[in-house]
Amino acid sequence: MALTITGLSKTYPNGVKALKNLSLSIGNSMFGLVGPNGAGKSSLMRTVATLQEPDSGSIDLDGIDVLKQKDHVRRILGYLPQEFGVYPKISALDMLHHLAVMKGMNSPSERKETVDALLQQTNLWDSRKKALSTFSGGMKQRFGIAQALLGNPRLIIVDEPTAGLDPAERNRFLNLLASLGSDRTVILSTHIVDDVRQLCPRMAIISSGELLFEGSPNDALTTLKGKIWSKVAATDEELGAIEKQLQLISTHLVGGQHEIRVYANASPGAGFRCVDSSLEDVYFLNLAQQGKDQRPN
């Protein structure tokens, strides 16, 4: 399956330019779309999911014109939006049956087989008779995947699925995504870089509606090899000085001290050690570079 997005732009009525001439190719496998809050990820995902119109641009899904052949797209698409509706008092089992009927699964035996299999796959079998309103955040997200999988879609879009999950729930959810198989395309939109590192052979970074990077996480890491330097800044003054003189990528508080990471072709000075690059470096460096490009001359 190939999804080709070409020159997509969207300006909301309030003047916010959420997508700026964005082009992106997404093939089979899990694709990570990362970017800070407000980057335009949901706008892009909603457009691919045929839920909103762009101002210009085109989207092709294996020869289907996504912006025109909406019904066709909806038949092969599973979507877990960022805000997944209301969670009613009815059970997971009944709700899935109800949604399956709405998807056109009219045969009761086929429906039972599908619904039962999805409840097993998402590890909700034991809770299937409990009301959805009593589900934890992680269970709700897994139910969201179960409903997205109804009809065996070839393209699945999950928008910020791990936000707000505790580490155990997040892990469980990521494992579920990873198990969805190689025969379909899964687009995972997230602001959590680590989710992408664990799951996605290909990724893109977007910010302010623009594409900053597209490629494999490994390629991205290779380009930074030997160029990421770390040091603990002893004082705020030292941190300030480094910020002025060097290309600072990120600072993390470790045991109350600032551990800083900078980008440099050679050792930037005493006390710095060369460290393995991380996907977070790729991410922050791209964002910093974009900030620079957009600075007025």
Longest dimension (CA), the chain: 72
Q: Which is nearer to ligand ADP, 12 or 240 (CB)?
A: 12
The arrangement of strands across the sheet holding 56-61 comes to 17-26, 3-11, 56-61, 64-65
Instruction: Report the nearest approach of ligand ADP to the CB of residue 32 (Å).
Output: 13
What binding mask, one character per residue, do residues 102-131 give for ligand ADP by CB under 6 A, x or -? Answer: ------------------------------
Could you give the CA distance from residue 111 to residue 220 in angstroms, rounded to a whole number? 44
15 binds ligand ADP (CB under 6 A): no
39 binds ligand ADP (CB under 6 A): yes
Total interface residues for ligand ADP by CB under 6 A: 12
3-class secondary-structure state, position 173 = helix
Pick the binder of ligand ADP from 30, 42, 176, 203 (CB under 6 A): 42
Residue type present at position 73 = V
Instruction: Report the nearest approach of ligand ADP to the CB of residue 102 (Å).
Output: 25
Could you give the CA distance from residue 47 to residue 58 in angstroms, rounded to a whole number? 10
Instruction: Report the nearest approach of ligand ADP to the CB of residue 163 (Å).
Output: 10
* Cα within 13 Å of Cα(152), Cβ side: 7
Could you give the CA distance from residue 41 to residue 50 in angstroms, rounded to a whole number? 14
261 binds ligand ADP (CB under 6 A): no
In the complex, the residues that contact ligand ADP under the rule CB under 6 A are: 12, 14, 16, 18, 35, 37-43
